[in-house]
Amino acid sequence: MTVYNDPIENRPPPKRRRAYQIFTPGIPFYRDVRVLRLVAQIVFAVLFIGTLAVTWISLTTNLEQSQIALDFGVYKRSFAAGLPEGIPFDTEWDWAGNLDLANSTIFPVWIVLWLGIAYYAYTRLRQRNRQLAIIAAAVIVLLIPLHPTIISELDKAVSPYLFPKSNTRAIISGIVNTLRVVVLSVFASTLLGVLIGIGLLSTNYLVRTVSHVYVEIFRNTPLLVQLVLIYQGALLILPIVANSMTSPDKIGPLRFYEKFYVVNVRAFSFPKLNPTDTAAWFYGGLIVGLIVGYLVRRWRIRVQELTGTPSRTWLFVIPLFIVCMITGWLIAGGWPLSSGPFNVEYPQFGRFNIEGGTQISTPFMSLFSALTLYTTAFIADIVRAGIQSVPKGQVEAARSLGLSGPQVLGMVVLPQALRLIIPPLGNQYVNIGKNSSLGLAVGYADTYQAVQLVNNESGQSVPLFVGMMIIYLALSLLFSLLTNLLNTTTRLRTR
């Protein structure tokens, strides 16, 4: 019997491409995927750099023809105008120019930075990525001896920009106003969005219908229209300062000598709590209450897992937290009630305006309300989609075990829905940060208005608006980072 050799077995082994070789042996370069990718990247880089060069040449040429000098030192100039609200920028910052005070002020930031890098090195080491862990450890070793030099050079670099009434200080005040409305809108829209998203799936006809109507109205109308409508239709119709709406002086037999609220077309005024020297004891009581509550919650959940008895966490946590809070109040001198860790400052009628207390301007209220109501509609739809992504079999299994509706929602549905809810939720947070620039339409002193006022005085639109773009970019990247970190804690872990 004749045995023929298999031609496939007699073929020579294919040539392997070495790591430093661009071309794959045996394949024409015009068909090699690696070569085509490299050429495409080079072409894109050349086009991108060329576009930037043409844009820069066109910009400098137009500025020269308009006799406008491109001056990034505009941030060092004085700010002649004023902002209607925000942190004061006409006072001296003690740490600016004082190296010792600046060092003590920034030192906690360095501690947080070192701890963050150390935690990153620890996580990379647990993932058996020794190279990144060694690099992170080397960064810590280099930062510690360079700390005094970095603080000294940083203080010299930023001091010329932080004198009172400087353009930089005015822009910082606008940034603080932007962060204030953005952070509050994020919390409020998240809370309302979850509630309305659950309401969209409610078995109650009235709750479900109202939730659907809310989402359709606020999701399908422009944010600017809602903002102007709230400002002009709800807040500008409030009385003037002389005819302000105030809390009643007498309710039944009780008589009040101070105003608990004052509302007019300019602002909403409420009492303000000014901390005293003993307020640290009260804050300590709150921190102890939070720690004790967290430990008790873990203990009760552990008991439920071992014995099967209901944890009833809040029946233990809330009384303990209240006891710790009252204890801190008493230690801080909170008895009798007239004294304690805080002094109450009530709003009073001044000569031309309301003085004292906490004042929330009507532009802030309108921007906060519009951002919250608009974003809530999108978050509600995201929550609804996330809840519906959970298989119905798991819901039915949880109900067969005797779990109530809130228990099924909190223990079975929402933990699984978060994996789909959090990524698009981060996009809505980024939109809140960018949409806050619409505050200019109602006169809110945010970053955009501060930069616009500086531009009106200096005419340096390019450096100012480039800086503003960097500010909003940093805000968006911060929300993206926080969302990604939160997403890593809720993602499904498998082998």
Please indicate whether residue 130 or residue 43 has the higher confidence score (pLDDT): 43
Question: Taking a C-beta distance cutoff of 8 angstroms, is the pair 420, 480 a contact?
Answer: no
Weakest-pLDDT range from 59-68, 210-219, 380-389: 59-68
Residue 105 pLDDT exceeds 80: no
- What's the structural domain count of the chain? 2
Is the residue at 328 inside a domain? yes
Return the pLDDT at 11: 54
Q: What is the mean pLDDT of residues 282-288?
A: 91
Nearest Cα neighbor of 272 from 356, 360, 176, 184 is: 356
In a domain, 269, yes or no: yes
CA distance 74 to 316: 58
pLDDT tens by residue, 455-464: 998 888 888 9
| 227: in domain | no
* Pairing mode, strands 254-255 and 250-251: antiparallel
Residue 6 is predicted with a pLDDT of 52
- Residue whose pair of structure tokens reads 């990153």 in the numeric block: 120
Residue 182 clears pLDDT 80, i.e. is over it = yes
**Which residues lie closer than 8 Å to 416 by C-beta, 6 or more apart?**
389, 390, 394
Instruction: Flag whether 340 is in a domain.
Output: yes
Residue 418 has pLDDT above 80, yes or no: yes
Last residue of a domain, one of 354, 387, 415: 354
N-to-C CA span, the chain: 53
- Give the model's confidence band at 13: pLDDT under 50 very low, under 70 low, under 90 confident, else very high: low
Q: What's the rounded Cα separation, in Å, for the pair 28 and 70?
A: 51
SS3 403: coil
Q: Do 350 and 254 belong to one domain?
A: yes
pLDDT, residue 146, reads: 72
User: In this structure, are residues 323 and 331 in contact, taking their beta carbons and an 8 Å threshold?
Assistant: no
Q: How far, CA to CA in Å, does 392 sit from each of 340, 389, 408, 492?
A: 54, 9, 11, 19
pLDDT at 158: 78
pLDDT (average), residues 335-354: 79
pLDDT in tens, 240-271: 988 889 888 877 677 777 888 899 999 999 99
Inside any domain, residue 140? yes
pLDDT-based confidence at 232, cuts 50/70/90?
A: very high
**In terms of domains, do 256 and 158 share one?**
no
Q: How confident is the model at residue 213 (pLDDT cuts 50, 70, 90)?
A: very high
pLDDT of residue 97: 61
pLDDT for residue 41 is more than 80: yes
For residue 195, pLDDT over 70 is answered with: yes
pLDDT of residue 310: 75
> 101: burial class by Cβ within 10 Å (0-12, 13-18, 19+)?
middle
Classify 202 as helix, strand or coil: coil
Looking at per-residue pLDDT, the higher value among 23 and 160 belongs to 160
Question: Could you list the residue range(s) of the whole structural domain that residue 150 is in?
Answer: 95-162
Higher-pLDDT residue of 426 and 495 is 426
* Residue where a domain stops, chosen among 162, 186, 211: 162
Please give the Cα distance from 101 to 98 (Å, whole number). 5
Q: For 389-418, what is the mean pLDDT?
A: 85
pLDDT of residue 3 exceeding 60 = no
**Would you state the pLDDT for residue 342?**
85
User: Does some domain include residue 346?
Assistant: yes
**Which pLDDT band, with edges at 50, 70 and 90, does 396 fall under?**
confident
Amino acid 492: pLDDT: 66
- Note whether 234 and 396 are within 8 A (CB): no
- Distance CA(417)–CA(389), nearest Å, equals 7
pLDDT at 428 over 90: yes
Residue 12 has a pLDDT of: 55
Burial label for 100, CB within 10 Å (0-12, 13-18, 19+), is exposed
Model pTM score: 0.81
Tokens 């890098």 belong to which residue? Answer: 117
Q: pLDDT band for position 73 (50/70/90)? A: confident
Residue 23 to residue 403: CA distance in whole angstroms: 63
Last residue of a domain, one of 302, 333, 354: 354
- Please check the confidence at residue 62 and state whether its pLDDT lies above 90: no
Strand partners, 263: 245, 268
Residue at 279 is within a domain: yes
In this prediction, residue 215 carries a pLDDT of 96
What DSSP character marks residue 75? G
What letter would DSSP give residue 166? Answer: B
- Count CA within 13 A, CB hemisphere, residue 290: 5
Give how far Cα 117 sits from Cα of 125, 151, 386, 489, Å: 12, 19, 34, 19
Helices (H), 80-237: 99-126, 130-158, 167-200, 205-219, 223-230
Distances (CA, A) of 17 to 28, 404, 420: 13, 63, 42
- Residue 104, pLDDT > 90, answer no
Q: State the chain's mean pLDDT as an integer.
A: 85
Q: What value does the mean pLDDT take over residues 230-234? A: 92
Q: Is the pLDDT of residue 107 over 80?
A: no
Tell whether 396 is covered by a domain: no
Residue from 455, 452, 430, 433 nearest 443 by CA: 452
State the pLDDT at residue 250.
76
Structure tokens given for 493: 């872990």
